[in-house]
A and B are shown apart, each in its own frame.
Chain A
Amino acid sequence: MPEKSITDIPQDTTHRDVVCPFCALLCDDLVVRTRDGRTQILENACPRSAAGFERAPLAVQPTVAGRAASLEDAAKRAAQILARSKRPLIGGLGTDVDGVREALALAERCGGIVDHMHANAMANNVRVLQSRGWITTTLSELRNRADLVVLVGVSFADRYQHFFRRFIDPTTTLDGARRSNRRVYFMGPQKAAPTSDAVPVETLNCRPDQLDAMLGALRATLAGRPVHLRGVQQKQVAALAAAIRLARYPVFVWAPGQLDRQNGDVAIGQICGLVDALNVDGRAAGLFLGGDDGGQSAMSACAWLTGFPLRISYGGETIAYDPINFRSDRLLATNAVDALLWISSFGVSAPPPAGATIPTIAIGWPVDGAAVHIPAGTPGVDHAGRLVRTDTVVSLHLKPVRATALPSAADVLRAIAAAL
């Protein structure tokens, strides 16, 4: 713990209504205490947020070729790498809205391609949005209006851990009857089914690659068409269909990053088709959980600043939008880019795809073998920032809970741009 980086914060401070940056639910009811340089969640922690807040801040020292350097020199070296590159990749993008703004500005100046570490998952959603659209809802609507919730393959093992506490089983809702009658279904492997003390979860057991078939069968059942499933599954689907028919506001939840990689968009399309059909005579809505590590912020801010969601390139005379060919893993594996700037400010869990042998600039967490590493703080822990929540509607202003000398990723990107 670098004691001397704890500068002007009082020795013992307790923060209330703290927003958690560690998954896209952005829970904002945490109580966090920083004492003697140690940060701890006193109330409403989940394992992920506890790990995130309690992690010691990064050492402030930037490095160039593994050796200590001033921020100025590190930024200069980073600018040099970008200036010499014909086609740099600005990847990771694990940062807040301000960081995304600066990353786009820098990419424009050096003709870079821009991608986010979770863009594959989000691209599943975007394909459905751009081909057919959807009917969706947000977390407060879920909390108050849903009388039936279908979790399509959603796992709460390492993210979204407060989903049940905050939205499925809150102590109070605007319509008490809907809460007390609320029924929750899980479609997916039995062993991955969520459990809750307060709300029974009925599981429709199936393999992850069977989800679209199950959803297809559910649609067919609701439409009165014949279905062909195994006995148990057929019975369960029929029971769910019957419950959906009685529900006044069923909500179907998916997590694009947890669906089958190859055809996640097929399952999402099935859900959205199902929701559309239910809305002809009644109400129903979809809701997705995704865009962690600043992912939703990156998608939204990129869309408003450029007119396109990720992935984009500034390599030509105009912005180019190509969610398939601008995939980081593909670009790095085929040596289609000649420099990498990797931003990761939410934790160690997000290294760049392996195989990067090109000059690399790491902002935030270090990357093995990086030519330049400039540490940056975590938004909402070390510095202020703004993040967009999973439902794409709510965004929150995060405030620091401890004082460090760490710059934000946006500060670092500005310093690099100034040196360019």
Chain B
Amino acid sequence: MSIIELRGGTVYDPANGVDGERRDLYLSSEGIVAKPDDPKRVTESIDVSGCVVMAGAIDIHTHIGGGKVTIARMMLPEDHLRDLTTRGQHPRLGCGHAAPSTLTTGYRYAELGYTACFEPAMLPANARQAHMEMADTPIVDKGAYALLGNDDFLLRMLAKKADKALIRDYVAWTLKATQALAIKVVNPGGINAFKFNQRKLDLDEENSAYGVTPREILIALAEGIQALGLSHPLHIHGCNLGVPGNAETTLATIAALDGRPAHLTHIQFHSYGTEGDKHFSSGAAAIAELVNAHRNISVDVGQVMFGQTVTESGDSMRQYAGSAFADPKKRVVMDIECDAGCGVVPFKYKDQNFVNALQWTIGLEMFLSVRDPWRIFLTTDHPNGAPFTSYPHLIKLLMDRSFRNDMLGTISKDAAAATTLGSLDREYSLYEIAIMTRAGPAKTLGLTRLGQLGIGARADVVVYNDDPDRERMFGKPRLVYKDGALVAKDGKIVAVPRGATHVVRPDYDPGIEKQLDQYFDRYMTVKCANLMVGDDEIADGGRGELVIHETARGA
């Protein structure tokens, strides 16, 4: 076993309480190891003094794999033609920007020091393809959250007031069948309601077909997950995404959860008020205050950045409504397999557009107003708010107040006048950045060996030059290691491991399988057994690695 010594770096490892201390690190393929007694075992020693050292970064919410991403890829050649990679730039050709190719996605994440990425919206009906796409996303570890809450099976159970144990078993079966790490709900009941021509669904509004409300769905799933003892709580994309006034829905959703653990994703898109001449305002302050007061809640932001992107979501109801703003003018909306749906709408965020500029300020207000960095994670909801390649710029906005205020001076005057952003003088520290991009995501996802640099952690390590321009610093790390092997050096990919797939697999009563078999035979167009993604598919003849994380209930 070869050991690499990283000597004298300034280490930020919040999971182990290390805040900018000078430390030596020892990396091997087995993980981070203690300083070997026999110095001859160190095969390479690198002086990284003066450099900042962190664990590999983790993106907790990024749309990297699955049908809707590939629809976006097919639909937007004009966007890709502007960002083609050239021979020699990466190990293999591809393209970047809004919906990059899987290969380029993996390389670019690694170049930025990211070593794990999580696809947050895997439809069970589409799980196999999502995993095939993630397998073709090199270098980074991956995992996915399975979508529930719009499937006719669950809604029928809820309509029949099924036993909680049955719902819990169904959640556990779904995790196993789709090889998932967590459960996500998108517009609870709303995607299904859209199939019955409902155009909006508030928290306490009944789905017309099943008479079930989003509140009931949220609570049923949150409780099922809690009963299974999953590390990551229900990952919620709430009702009324993008609708002015939806801050009220978000506040009501937090209240409805009533202390149950939950993660509210891309909270920026759910923090809109209706004040002002344009009836569009920031609801960030009130939501941040409620999040601060509720330790059961975590959020990620879904920051908007200006420029061309594409929005990809399971929320067919809201994406259909949003297609009026498609730029360029095209869009795909799908109803999917009595399971969920999707909508793919290209979009251009413009800094002189009042609404877009205010969205930008709302995201930043949220970052700066939620106090506990362990409960707020850095995302753009790639690519919905912006492609992930904008992360270094976002980090600079968070760490550098004068830069932030300079940028604030360039956006729509009306938006700049309407925001409190200029009065927020918080600047994120490197320690806090390490929490929100490493230790925090690893903790909530239950990835015990990721996001940290203690002995036994996977040796995913990033070495940055301590450049006062944080955008430049985070944009091109000096060294990136994955499992103890150098994968990127000064922004150049040097090795291409495949990356592991992380899942959980809590036990369930096999009785649910009989019910599902029958349901699939009676109503679906695949057999239940054929929907299930096997371990052999992830292992792929030894090329893939499956990591099964422990849960309180079984496996």
Contacts and interface: CB of A to CB of B under 8 A. Distances in A.
Interface residues of A, number: 59
B129 A300 contact: yes
A303 B196 CA distance: 32
B337 interface: yes
Interface in B52-74: 65, 67, 69-71, 73-74
A318 interface: yes
B168 interface: no
Given A138-B334, A140-B523, A141-B338, A394 B74 contact: no
Interface of B: prevailing SS: mixed
- Interface centre among B92, B330, B334, B524, by most chain A C-beta atoms within 10 angstroms, is B334
A141 B95 contact: no
B74 A299 contact: yes
B77 interface: yes
B525 A392 contact: no
B530 A28 contact: yes
Contacts of B525: 139-140, 143, 166-167, 394
B95 A308 contact: yes
Interface string B65-103: 101011101111100110011110000111110011111
Interface string A103-118: 0010010000000000
A19 B529 CA distance: 11
Interface stretch (A124-132, A152-160, A203-211): A124-132
B465 interface: no
A101 B67 CA distance: 17
Contacts of A132: 329-330
Nearest to A29: B527
A2 B87 CA distance: 46
Contact of B335 (A17, A285, A318): A285
B332 interface: yes
B274 to A, nearest CB: 25
B102 A136 contact: no
B332 A133 contact: yes
Interface string B146-179: 0000001000000000000000000000000000
A141 B335 contact: yes
Contact of A304 (B70, B96, B195, B339): B70
Contacts of A139: 337, 525
Contacts of B358: none
A315 to B, nearest CB: 11
Contact of A130 (B129, B330, B530): B330
A337 B235 CA distance: 51
B125 A138 contact: yes
B126 A393 contact: yes
A166 B329 CA distance: 36
Interface in A298-345: 299-301, 303-309, 314, 317-319, 321
B133 interface: yes
A394 B527 contact: no
Residue of A249, A279, A304 most packed against chain B (CB within 10 A): A304
A132 B344 CA distance: 12
A132 to B, nearest CB: 5
A19 B530 CA distance: 8
A308 B80 CA distance: 8
Contacts of B87: 317-318
Contact of B74 (A130, A135, A305): A130
A388 B335 CA distance: 17
B123 interface: yes
Nearest to B528: A17
B523 A97 contact: no
Contacts of B330: 129-133
A317 B337 contact: no
A19 B93 CA distance: 33
A307 B534 CA distance: 27
A394 B126 contact: yes
Contacts of B523: 140, 143-144, 172-174
Interface residues of B, number: 66
Interface in B95-145: 95-96, 99-104, 123, 125-126, 128-129, 132-133, 136
Contact of B94 (A129, A307, A392): A307
A245 interface: no
A133 B335 contact: no
B469 interface: no
Given A129-B75, A308-B77, A397 B128 contact: yes
Contacts of B123: 393
Nearest to A300: B70
A321 B81 contact: yes
B34 interface: no
B349 interface: no
Contact of A395 (B81, B132, B195, B529): B132
A130 B136 CA distance: 24
A19 B525 CA distance: 12
B334 A135 contact: yes
A304 B334 contact: no
B336 A303 contact: no
B40 interface: no
B534 to A, nearest CB: 7
A304 B335 contact: no
A248 interface: yes
B320 interface: yes
Contacts of A97: 132
Nearest to A175: B209
A28 B75 contact: no
A134 B337 CA distance: 17
A136 B530 contact: no
A304 B80 CA distance: 12
Interface in A386-411: 386, 388, 392-397
Given A137-B335, A299-B74, A305 B94 contact: yes
B478 interface: no
Nearest to A139: B525
Given A130-B74, A305-B94, A319-B93, A393 B125 contact: yes
Contact of A17 (B67, B75, B529): B529
Contacts of A306: 93-95, 101, 103
Nearest to A97: B132
A10 B194 CA distance: 50
Given A130-B330, A283-B196, A394-B526, A319 B95 contact: yes
Contact of A141 (B76, B195, B332): B195
B100 to A, nearest CB: 6
B526 A28 contact: yes
B522 interface: yes
Given A17-B530, A108-B92, A133-B331, A140 B338 contact: yes
Nearest to B337: A140
B530 A319 contact: no
Nearest to A125: B74
B197 A282 contact: yes
A145 B195 contact: yes
Interface string A271-294: 000000001001101000000000
B537 interface: yes
B333 interface: yes
23 contacts: A17-B529, A29-B527, A101-B136, A132-B329, A132-B330, A133-B326, A136-B332, A141-B337, A248-B196, A279-B320, A285-B334, A300-B129, A304-B102, A307-B73, A307-B80, A308-B73, A318-B95, A319-B84, A392-B71, A394-B337, A395-B126, A396-B526, A397-B128
Given A166-B525, A304-B69, 13 more contacts: A19-B530, A28-B527, A132-B330, A133-B330, A134-B332, A248-B196, A248-B197, A307-B94, A318-B93, A392-B70, A394-B526, A396-B526, A397-B534
Interface of A: 17, 19, 28-29, 97, 101, 105, 108, 126, 129-141, 143-145, 166-167, 172-174, 248-249, 279, 282-283, 285, 299-301, 303-309, 314, 317-319, 321, 386, 388, 392-397
In the complex, the 3 A-B pairs of residues with the closest C-beta atoms, listed nearest first: A318-B84, A307-B95, A307-B101
